[in-house]
Chains A and B, each alone.
Chain A
């Protein structure tokens, strides 16, 4: 389905066949009414307008993924539409990290297909990617410049790091480091967040800050796939990975045999 939007107001909904328009540019700055894929266009009687396509930002079909040469998950299928989140649950070793790394393109799926545009993904793993000798602001502005995103002040503010911006990252506490690692997601400006255990070492108020950040991200048309065990206060679909455990673990991609 496509929606025609002008000045933030929905003008018209219509359906056209798949492939009528090529994949649209990704409109990731938010504020586009909960839809992620947008095409700027021109309509004869309306002037400049946006064509919003209500396609899933992330589609996973019959994916199997392997870790250490063994297939751990198989038969996973889901769609994540703009403005929604998906929570991954499952016991330790059930493959949450493996699935997220597969979605991020860091490893290839053994079977099935992951449909997501590479340039829409921001992945945060267990490590925060911080350099201890750089200050908080330097760490964050590096990632902001790499992703072509200007200001770091809103990201610092969102995780209450403004007062710490001149401190060296190595002098932060574990929870503060984690908050800085999460603030990194905000400066990517990317719509698809893949978060692996984001709340580790966060206190209750920091978890609430994170929940707020995710809600704002979703309201701006982004999506989030989060592997977590605690309640973030976000309305989201829950996917329990223990249901997709590979029946008989078998060898993965052949090149892993040499490692």
Chain B
């Protein structure tokens, strides 16, 4: 299991692995928004929490289809399925590797990007907290979606269609946490609800993902 995590991280960091791609995409989205809606602070500040969360979510989506597709194409997945590790564990470890290479950097970079969007000062702590607790769910749901679409040609688009609706609850409570933080309201409830969603996905989706992989390998 540790070996699998090390390999996935190494693959992500080496050339062509896509590490940094999500971060660059996030940056571009955040820079494009002021061009679209105008640079006025009065316009940007209210929409900043939503835009930051949406950007992070789309950046997460970018590298999802690589979670299992490359392993499927080169035959590693069949070998993993016969290895002495449970397939549920493989799904969980691969989701963790995805989070470490996308969700975690996004969380750490988000405060800087918040400045670009004129996010009011009360929101930064909540932004980091909500992304830290919410992005694991994005990776886990994404890993499940990737397992569902693993054998398909052009599975990436279908993956987005399957996964984006499942991201809605996390997006609602994540953005709401930051918005409430900005407005000085009680933000803890939204954060707790979102954390509940994250924990639920972490508990259930490794099993669903493994079942989907077994069907797709058949």
Contact = CB atoms under 8 A, between A and B. Distances in A.
Interface of A: 104-108, 118-119, 121-131, 133-134, 138, 141-143, 145-148, 184, 255
Contact of B74 (A107, A123, A128, A148): A128
Given A122-B82, A123-B82, A131-B11, 9 more contacts: A106-B217, A119-B84, A129-B76, A129-B79, A131-B76, A134-B10, A146-B3, A146-B4, A184-B79
Nearest to B218: A107
A104 B218 CA distance: 11
A146 B83 contact: yes
Interface residues of B, number: 27
B81 interface: yes
A133 B3 contact: no
B78 A123 contact: yes
Contact of B75 (A108, A125, A148): A125
Given A131-B11, A134-B14, A146 B84 contact: yes
B17 interface: yes
Contact of B82 (A105, A134, A145): A105
Contacts, number: 72
Interface string B1-29: 01110110011001111000000000000
Contacts of A108: 218
Contacts of B79: 123-124, 129, 143, 184
B37 interface: no
Interface string B55-89: 00000000000000010011110111111110000
B7 A134 contact: yes
Given A106-B82, A134-B10, A145 B75 contact: no
A141 B10 CA distance: 13
Contact of A133 (B15, B76, B78, B215): B15
Contacts of B17: 133
Nearest to A252: B218
B78 A106 contact: yes
Contacts of B14: 133-134
A129 B75 contact: yes
Contacts of A118: 82
A123 B76 CA distance: 11
Nearest to A253: B218
Contacts of B11: 131, 133-134
Most central of A106, A118, A143, A146 by chain B CB within 10 Å? A146
A149 to B, nearest CB: 10
A104 B79 CA distance: 10
A137 to B, nearest CB: 12
A104 B82 contact: yes
Contacts of B16: 133
Contacts of A184: 79
Nearest to B73: A127
B85 A146 contact: yes
A131 B80 CA distance: 14
A184 B83 CA distance: 12
A123 to B, nearest CB: 5
Contacts of B73: 127
A138 to B, nearest CB: 7
A118 B218 CA distance: 16
B79 to A, nearest CB: 5
